[in-house]
């Protein structure tokens, strides 16, 4: 006998949960780096075009797919795809990507998330206060990560301790379920995240110029560095691809998480307004708060040349090297530094619990096992899978996981689900399903966008990548020779994980077809 599926407690709770899934480290670290490195304000043109042509349509598609599949007792992509195209017995295997992708991201994301918790503690206790230069702060980070032994850290024990704490916190939230765990966390964590973000943003925007001789190094010009457009950048395909990639990354579309979250909705729940609310919450966090902290703060202390170099250094360098240095130079810097990293930790944990949920839902729905047992199985497997990302961090393992799980699978999965929704399920039927229970009507232009523009946009992205990068990626041409054995091992492990998940799907469906003996 199938057990009753869980459900969200309130509309506010599910909006906070989906927004929490979307709002992660990328909003506050990746976005400002992408914008500053790709034409400043001009980046926002392809960014918003991608938001309206990719992000919002995919958000509605995934909310609708999830709610539809949930009505048949399925909370993950294999089952949802099967309900939409029952005649195709292979389509459920494409849905494996919707479990595989989140698991791959979870493997490394949780470890990075644990750094933010550690640094929040280091800030308030003054652990990194003596690292007053960029080189010493980089050394502090490398020592913490176990990439080198130095005067700050002699081993990996501190980093591993914070990883275990973060891992257990994630498992505890997942253990208590949709309403008692994830929804409760997000209803507390998301408002607290915005409070932390506004506190840090207000402090950055009220910073004075530290050097009177460099009066141009001020907040206004710092915001201008990020938002003044370089329209010549729009000629570059790289900028457009970067903008589309940021939309995928920031909204958590194309992963499979939103499908799972939406599967716990009831048939009459509004997916149109709820989806828009989640998008709006995410965009406020990213564009307003994320765009007003790191780059303006860096500009004030390091000037235009220094900020450009910092932006090119990447998100990790910005978050864990530059920002601690900046807060070390302001009054009550320990408080603001701890608040900054607490903000990042809250953004991280609301995302990581969402990444774990598809695997748990798959075991619950398709194998009819208890949540306690599902979380135990996931926890054991997840803990083991995390170890290479921790111990081989400097060998290209995390970059490899991030590419296949956090980039390639996102675009591939989004393409598959869009085609199924608009062409297999049928756009007329899909349009009716989206509006079931809706308090507002979507502009009719989106029917055309969902059927033609979004899938074409996605296919162009896939095609451009395949043409430009496929062969060099497969041959590891951009991977250092010393790292290639580790990268190759990671690829074999990923293939094995995908095969195991596919076998589990096959077993689950064979079990469903097996006749029950009288």
514 pLDDT band (50/70/90 cuts)? low
Q: For 99-103, 275-279, 306-310, 452-456, which range has the lowest pLDDT when averaged over its residues? A: 306-310
Tell me what the mean pLDDT of segment 138-166 comes to: 93
pLDDT score, position 513: 64
pLDDT score, position 348: 94
Q: Among candidates 313, 449, 397, 381, which has minimal Cα distance to 36?
A: 313
134 pLDDT band (50/70/90 cuts)? confident
pLDDT tens track for 334-367: 999 999 999 999 999 999 999 999 999 999 999 9
Q: Is the pLDDT of residue 301 over 90?
A: no
Residue with tokens 């004075």: 208
pLDDT score, position 358: 95
pLDDT score, position 430: 95
Average pLDDT of the chain is 90
pLDDT tens track for 62-109: 999 999 999 999 999 999 999 999 888 899 999 999 999 999 999 999
- Report percent pLDDT > 90 for the chain: 63
pLDDT score, position 313: 73
Q: What is the DSSP code string of 98-164?
A: HHHHHHHHHHHHHHHHHHHHHHHHHHHHTTTTT--SHHHHHHHHHHHHTSS--SS-SSSHHHHHHHH
86: three-class secondary structure by DSSP? coil
Q: Is the pLDDT of residue 516 over 50?
A: no
pLDDT score, position 434: 96
Q: Is the pLDDT of residue 518 over 70?
A: no
Tell me what the mean pLDDT of segment 280-307 comes to: 88
Tell me what the mean pLDDT of segment 268-289 comes to: 92
pLDDT tens track for 180-232: 999 999 999 999 999 999 999 999 888 877 777 788 888 888 888 888 888 88
1 pLDDT band (50/70/90 cuts)? very low
For domain 11-510, which architecture applies? Orthogonal Bundle (1.10)
pLDDT tens track for 386-397: 999 999 998 999
Angle formed by the axes of helices 272-283 and 56-70, to 10°? 130
- The number of helix segments (H) and strand segments (E) in the chain equals 28, 0
Q: What distance in Å separates the CA atoms of residue 153 and residue 140, rounded to the nearest whole number?
A: 7
């Amino acid at each position: 006998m199938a057990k009753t599926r869980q459900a969200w407690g309130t509309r506010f709770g599910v909006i906070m949960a989906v927004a929490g899934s979307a709002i992660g480290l990328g909003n506050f670290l990746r976005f400002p780096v992408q914008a500053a490195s790709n034409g400043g304000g001009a980046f926002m043109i392809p960014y918003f075009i991608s938001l309206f042509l990719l992000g919002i349509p995919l958000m509605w598609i995934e909310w609708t797919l999830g709610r539809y599949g949930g009505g048949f007792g399925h909370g993950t992509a294999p089952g949802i795809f099967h309900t939409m195209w029952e005649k195709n017995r292979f389509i459920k295997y494409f849905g494996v990507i919707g479990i595989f992708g989140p698991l791959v991201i979870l493997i490394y994301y949780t470890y990075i998330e644990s750094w933010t918790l550690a640094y929040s503690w280091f800030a308030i206790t003054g652990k990194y206060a003596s690292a007053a230069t960029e080189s010493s702060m980089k050394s502090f980070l490398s020592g913490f990560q176990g990439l080198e032994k130095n005067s700050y850290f002699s081993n990996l024990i501190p980093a591993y301790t914070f990883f275990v704490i973060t891992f257990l916190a994630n498992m505890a939230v997942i253990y208590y379920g949709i309403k008692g765990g994830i929804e409760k966390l997000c209803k507390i964590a998301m408002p607290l995240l915005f409070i932390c973000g506004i506190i840090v943003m207000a402090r950055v925007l009220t910073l004075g110029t530290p050097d009177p001789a460099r009066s141009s190094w001020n907040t206004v010009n710092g915001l201008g560095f990020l938002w003044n457009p370089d329209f010549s950048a729009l000629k570059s395909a790289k900028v457009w691809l970067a903008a589309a990639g940021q939309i995928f990354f920031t909204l958590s579309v194309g992963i499979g998480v939103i499908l799972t979250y939406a599967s716990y909705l009831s048939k009459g729940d509004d997916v149109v307004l709820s989806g828009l609310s989640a998008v709006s919450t995410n965009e406020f966090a990213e564009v307003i708060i994320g765009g007003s902290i790191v780059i303006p703060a860096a500009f004030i202390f390091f000037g235009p040349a220094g900020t450009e170099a910092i932006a090119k250094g990447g998100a990790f360098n910005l978050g864990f090297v530059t920002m601690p240095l900046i807060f070390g130079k302001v009054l009550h810097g320990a408080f603001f530094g701890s608040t900054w990293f607490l903000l990042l930790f809250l953004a991280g944990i609301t995302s990581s619990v969402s990444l774990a949920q598809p695997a748990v839902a798959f075991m619950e729905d398709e194998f009819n096992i208890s949540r306690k047992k599902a979380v135990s199985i996931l926890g054991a497997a997840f803990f083991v899978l995390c170890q290479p990302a921790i111990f081989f961090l400097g060998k290209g393992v995390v970059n490899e996981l991030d590419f296949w799980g956090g980039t390639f699978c996102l675009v591939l999965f989004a393409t598959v689900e869009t085609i199924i929704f608009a062409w297999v399920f049928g756009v007329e039927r899909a349009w009716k399903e989206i509006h079931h229970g809706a308090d507002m009507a979507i502009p009719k232009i989106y029917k055309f966008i969902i059927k033609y523009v979004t899938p074409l946009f996605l296919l162009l992205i896939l095609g451009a990548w395949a043409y430009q990068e496929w062969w060099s990626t497969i041959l590891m041409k951009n991977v250092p020779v010393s790292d290639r054995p580790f990268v190759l091992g990671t690829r074999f492990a990923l293939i094995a994980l995908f095969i195991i998940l596919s076998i589990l799907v096959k077993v689950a469906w064979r079990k469903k077809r097996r006749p029950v003996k009288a």
